[in-house]
Structure 1
Amino acid sequence: MTQPVRIPADVDREDTLWHGLTARQLFLLTSTGLALYALWSATRTVLPLAVFAVVALPVAVTTAVLVLGRRDGLPLDRLLLAAVRQRLAPHRHLAAPEGLHSAPAWLTAASTSHPESVTTTGAAAVPLRLPAHDIADTGLVDLGHDGVALVAECTTVDFALRTPAEQDALIGAFGRYLHSLTAPVQVLVRAERLDVTAAVAELRAQAPALPHPALQAAADDHADFLDQLAREQDLLRRQVLLVLREPGNTASSVDGLGGPGFPAALAARRTPRRAPALTEAERHAAGVRVTRRLADATTLLGLAGIAVCPLDAGQITAVLAAACSPDSFLAPSPHTAGAHHIITAAPAPPPEPELAPLPSAWSDGCPARDDSQAAFAPDNDTGHPDLPKEPSW
């Protein structure tokens, strides 16, 4: 008879060596103690012990607080190091992969004539380096020397309402997919703001065409309800994304999880050189492999009732833009013109809130998304209107 094994939720937690302390904490505390002892040994003939304690005690307490303290799940020493890096790093990043150009003459003259603007216009700026270099029309994300990636949107299943036998079947189906993984996979659960303006406008526009006055009144009441809901609360929508990444160069040895093996990782640590750019053949081969993995994920997760719907280029661009600017007043849309598009006419009317249609090869089992229905479904955790409460694998 097999015994159940508890799997910790925080799989990235560091191993402890002694009394709950990790190797990094032991090293910092031990090195600080040895440094203070060496300083006391060198100055004990000159300074009394009380005077040395006044100097050494604040150092010891500060080190202990930084090493042992935690905030938001992170050690305080790492947060302090991140704060120092953020303070010293340039705060202005420009989307210029080709490099920065010199400022025009009129801007330089303006900053010279107004010294108070020199601190603003003369701030150091560096090119913005993003992991995604390009997005093909098929939805394949080019990660440069890191390979390629595909992004798919997944539906959810109501795990709590299933019987114990059905829950075991769902866990078994999802476990089979986890056992089939041979390369990095990321499951991203994100919440984004929901705009019901288009749905309200459509309800009001179509209400007079309904065949019965009662139906017209119901449509008007529903539009008023959505409008009031949007004004009184922050409407959120939950989205579950499956990100599949495939490295371009598979010549190096890999471990059981698809990552670099120990010899390759050790060699890369000794000689941290940047990997060469992928050739067109390597990029194409990586795209074929990640597409095959997406087909496997669609089949295996479909056994658990989860529909995997790949995103096209416009939808992936909208997701990346929303991740870079989550609080933007202008919601990213898959219908927005791209960086290389030439705009030759006036912008078209705002599109419907549904996502753009998926390719016919992947459209089976992917229901159309209706944001107007998700606007008034309560969330059991936060109190915000959201999609129905469902566990996200």
Structure 2
Amino acid sequence: MSPKYDETDGPYRARIPADVDAPDKILYGFTFRQMAILAVAGTGLYLGWQALHTVAPVPVLLAAAVIIGGAALGLAVGRRDGLPLDVWLLGAICHTRAPHSLAAAGAGSGDGVPDWVDVGHTRITLPAPLRLPADAIDDDGQIRLGGTASAIVAATSVNLGLRSPGEQHTTVEAFGRWLNSLNAPVQITVSAQPVDLASHATALAERADDLPHPALAAACADHARFLAELAARRDPLRRQVLITCRTGGEAGEHAARRRADDVARALGALGVTARVLDGAGATSALAAAADPYRPARHGGLAAPGHTITGRTHPS
């Protein structure tokens, strides 16, 4: 596209090809992976022909070659669920052979099975140890990942369509400067999370009588009924933007937290409201990512390393 000499000429547009991640074609429209599959199949058919053409009928060999060649061609060019067919089949085989029952393993356990369990004589399939990448979540929101750490920044989105061409150009430049300043892996996750309007409606209905004026109480109760009806008729969703920052070799116990604070300040220049999640917020974000339609309610669990106390009743 021709360059623009004035920011008021119109919005800046850049064309990005849709197949930017497509593998390169090397021969007859086939990729290297497809050519490797066809080459292996062709070599196998040739060796089989050389070994069996003197002892087996030719029509039988030709029929077998057509079947095997067709299967190899389908494996090379076929796709399923957006994946190449060979990758999809390999994933299916790995999923079938992998244990389907997992249990949390302790830090010092080798295979997650206690010593008193007789593995050799039991007929019950024992659960395999569940190995998670995160070791612990600190109070300040740092997620321990073995030798490294990460932190999560919750951010809002920006509607560029409502801004002038000059503001769009400034916003894109600021976002580009932030991307160019990164020296460690950063993951941006955009997801749709369900909104619990029923709880909001119940809370509003309970607080309506506490308002000082009857008109305010009536408006609050009417809004609570509207939210309850909306929750009954539809499943509202909200957009959630999470930015995960990992340490890039920085020294210090709170390096991930400092990097997350820098990201929040950099995104503030774009008009984005960003905040670094604390320990409870990071726990809720990870739990919602695992089960978005049943988010965990934090506050009832103690963090690792905390002493659990209880109330004592006088005798």
Q: TM-score, normalised by structure 2?
A: 0.83
**Long gaps (5+) in structure 1:** 113-117, 251-281, 346-393
The corresponding residue for 1:315 is 281
Matches within 5 A, 1:369-380: none
The corresponding residue for 1:197 is 198
RMSD between aligned residues: 2.9
Matches within 5 A, 1:119-158: 122-145=124-147, 147-158=148-159
Aligned residues: 296
Q: 1:35 aligns with which of 24, 27, 44?
A: 44
Matches within 5 A, 1:1-393: 6-8=15-17, 12-98=21-107, 99=109, 100-102=112-114, 122-145=124-147, 147-248=148-249, 284=252, 287-288=254-255, 290-328=256-294, 331-338=295-302, 340=304, 342=308, 344=310
The corresponding residue for 1:254 is none
Contact 1:139/1:313 (CA < 8 Å) preserved in 2? yes
Partner deviation per Cα, 1:279-333 (whole Å, 9 max, x = no partner): xxx6x36x43x444334323332221123210001111111122223344xx312
Question: Share of identical aligned residues, percent?
Answer: 39
Deviates more, 1:17-26 or 1:195-204: 17-26
Flag the 1:93–1:30 CA change in 2: closer, same or farther, 3 A. Answer: same
Contact 1:93/1:125 (CA < 8 Å) preserved in 2? yes
Partner deviation per Cα, 1:328-385 (whole Å, 9 max, x = no partner): 4xx312323136453636xxxxxxxxxxxxxxxxxxxxxxxxxxxxxxxxxxxxxxxx
What is the identity, as a one-letter code, of the residue corresponding to 1:310?
V
Paired with 2:262 and 2:17, the residues of 1 have a C-alpha distance of: 27
SS of alignment partner, residue 150 of structure 1: strand
Runs of 4+ displaced beyond 6 Å: none
SS of alignment partner, residue 160 of structure 2: coil
SS of alignment partner, residue 125 of structure 2: coil
Flag the 1:339–1:53 CA change in 2: closer, same or farther, 3 A. Answer: farther
Paired with 1:19 and 1:308, the residues of 2 have a C-alpha distance of: 50
Flag the 1:338–1:211 CA change in 2: closer, same or farther, 3 A. Answer: closer
Paired with 2:81 and 2:99, the residues of 1 have a C-alpha distance of: 25
Paired with 2:19 and 2:189, the residues of 1 have a C-alpha distance of: 16
Contact 1:154/1:309 (CA < 8 Å) preserved in 2? yes
What is the identity, as a one-letter code, of the residue corresponding to 2:97?
L
Q: TM-score, normalised by structure 1?
A: 0.67
Partner deviation per Cα, 1:72-106 (whole Å, 9 max, x = no partner): 3211211111111111111111122333344989x
Q: Give the greater-gyration-radius structure (CA).
A: 2
